Structure 1
Amino acid sequence: METLRRYLRHLLSFYLSLTATFSQYLFSPVPKIRRFPVIVPMIEALLSLYFSFSCNLVQCSVDLDDQTTMHFWAPAHRKFSKPNLVMIHGYGGNSRWQFVYQVAQLSESFNLYIPDLLFFGKSHTNCTNRSEAFQAECVVAGLKRLGVERCSVYGISYGGYVGYRMAEIYSEMVEKLVIVSSGVGCTEEQKGKHLKSLGVDIMDLLLPEKPEGVRLLVEKSVYRSNPCNWAPDFILQEFVDVMYNANRKGKQELVEYLLAKKAECGIQTLCQETLLIWGDKDKIFPLSYAYHLQSNLGPKCKLEVIQDMGHAANIDSPDSLNALIKGFILPY
């Protein structure tokens, strides 16, 4: 399976490189004029088709009130024999880009509910609250509108913050929790020391403005292979325009909230069984964060460390990640 996956990735990369080169040639008679994104929206459309036809998911937007709208991918036909799993993405893009390597396998075992967090994808709000607790509140409100009463939650990176708050605040709804490579519960000392060790301003890292910024973010996030190696600059600039420049101010405020927030003095122990999954080569949230979080969450929390994996487990090792998630949540 992993060999086939690598082959398909290389084939897709080769095809996209040819398409990109041809498109650049086709659309570049006046190179000084800034063009509208073409390739990245086309890839997004293909990802939507993949989610719909290969993973049996449909898009829906839920108006929570006159201020806030949440966008979800949800089952086209929910099967009550399957447990519900909510997948919460991190900061590097919307749900399609982050979970493309996982959804097909997981949709075979779960009813998947995949929100775009506020300021990502088609989710937005006019409210001023930028906390992860507000994100959790909005995800839960949307799930209830979709008829979800009980679920397990899997959150990666920033999504881990949101997943933790869902489990803490809505314990009657969340059955089990999976947190992957997240900074939940880090101390002020950990935060300050690690921000210095990154060697780059965290806002520049998480919200790149240029192709070289995207390459740096991916370089620090993955360990096994860098999907940006094949991409020419103009495609990466399109990615910046589509993913980061849309709702940039809101995304900045989410990061500013986490940076300004004082670390919790001993985070709340959860009543749910919790699985932490970490890569031993994580450069964004080092493995020490995982041990610290495990010690705070108590006896119902266990940790799985994947060798030779970076921060982006969803890219580095999706099959191993899926196997751990299914083994933890599904009944024997």
Structure 2
Amino acid sequence: MPQTPEKLRELIRFAFARPLIKGVPSYFLSDYIDVFCTDHVEQKKELIQALIKDRQLSKVPRIEQPTLIIWGEQDRIFPQELGYRLEKHIGDNAKLVMIKNAGHAVNIEKPKEFAKNLKSFLIDSRLSPRSKSSSHRHKHFLIWPTS
């Protein structure tokens, strides 16, 4: 967890395809750190280390419902290959969408494209994964892995 404005800038440069906070003053970043990065620091570090060390899809349950997976094409935290492996793990009920020019924070970097894909998936049964009865089943929007 970043504890200084410079470390937070470094994390953002890594997580985003195109960093969004070039001119943000250090005092604002310090306030952000105070609010979001100071509680449960050790637990958060352990969680991040476990995610990096133990990326096993076998622990992800099989999902029977149509499932949308939205992934940033330039995600350096969880590379594309993990998205493709997750889609394969879920099977025919999964639909993977790779968003171009987006990193780990797809919903922040490309909000319109993110919302368009989500809306299409939830509303238009023709865009749902290949399932004979998909229009009569619940749908999942999967955000995994989260940070």
Give TM-score scaled by structure 1 length.
Answer: 0.35
- What code does the residue aligned with 1:306 have? I
Q: Quote how far apart the aligned CAs of 1:285 are.
A: 0.9
Structure 2 distance, partners of 1:262, 1:310, is 19
The answer for the alignment partner of 1:237 in structure 2 is: 30
Q: Quote how far apart the aligned CAs of 1:317 are.
A: 0.3
Tell whether 2:4 aligns with 1:210. Answer: yes
Change (3 A) 1:262 1:230: closer
RMSD: 2.2
Change (3 A) 1:264 1:331: closer
Give the alignment partner of residue 47 of structure 2, picking from 242, 250, 254: 254
Q: Quote how far apart the aligned CAs of 1:220 are.
A: 1.2
Change (3 A) 1:307 1:298: same
Change (3 A) 1:227 1:316: same
Aligned to 1:285, the other structure's residue is in SS state coil
Structure having the higher strand fraction is 1
Change (3 A) 1:325 1:311: same
Aligned to 1:303, the other structure's residue is in SS state strand
* Contact residue 279 and residue 307 of structure 1 kept, 8 A: yes
Q: Quote how far apart the aligned CAs of 1:244 are.
A: 0.3
Structure 2 distance, partners of 1:264, 1:276, is 14
Aligned to 2:97, the other structure's residue is in SS state strand
Give the alignment partner of residue 66 of structure 2, picking from 273, 286, 297: 273
Structure 2 distance, partners of 1:303, 1:260, is 24
* Residue correspondences, number: 125
Tell whether 2:88 aligns with 1:295. Answer: yes
Change (3 A) 1:220 1:254: same
* Contact residue 73 and residue 98 of structure 2 kept, 8 A: yes
Aligned to 1:270, the other structure's residue is in SS state coil
Q: Quote how far apart the aligned CAs of 1:264 are.
A: 4.5
- What code does the residue aligned with 1:247 have? H
The answer for the alignment partner of 1:220 in structure 2 is: 14
* Contact residue 222 and residue 315 of structure 1 kept, 8 A: no
Identity, % of aligned pairs?
Answer: 30
Aligned to 1:299, the other structure's residue is in SS state coil
* Bigger Rg, structure 1 or 2: 1
- What code does the residue aligned with 1:217 have? L
Structure 1 distance, partners of 2:51, 2:76, is 18
> Is there any run of 5+ residues in structure 1 with no aligned partner, and where?
1-206
The residue correspondences of 1:175-194 to structure 2 (distance < 5 A) are: none
- What code does the residue aligned with 2:42 have? K
Change (3 A) 1:286 1:256: closer
The answer for the alignment partner of 1:330 in structure 2 is: 123
> Is there any run of 5+ residues in structure 2 with no aligned partner, and where?
126-147
Q: Quote how far apart the aligned CAs of 1:268 are.
A: 3.3
Change (3 A) 1:279 1:256: closer
Structure 2 distance, partners of 1:304, 1:220, is 21
Aligned to 2:98, the other structure's residue is in SS state strand
Structure 2 distance, partners of 1:266, 1:256, is 16
Structure 2 distance, partners of 1:260, 1:266, is 13
Change (3 A) 1:223 1:259: closer
Q: Which runs of 4+ in 1 moved over 6 A?
A: none
* Contact residue 57 and residue 89 of structure 2 kept, 8 A: no
The answer for the alignment partner of 1:18 in structure 2 is: none
* Contact residue 57 and residue 86 of structure 2 kept, 8 A: no
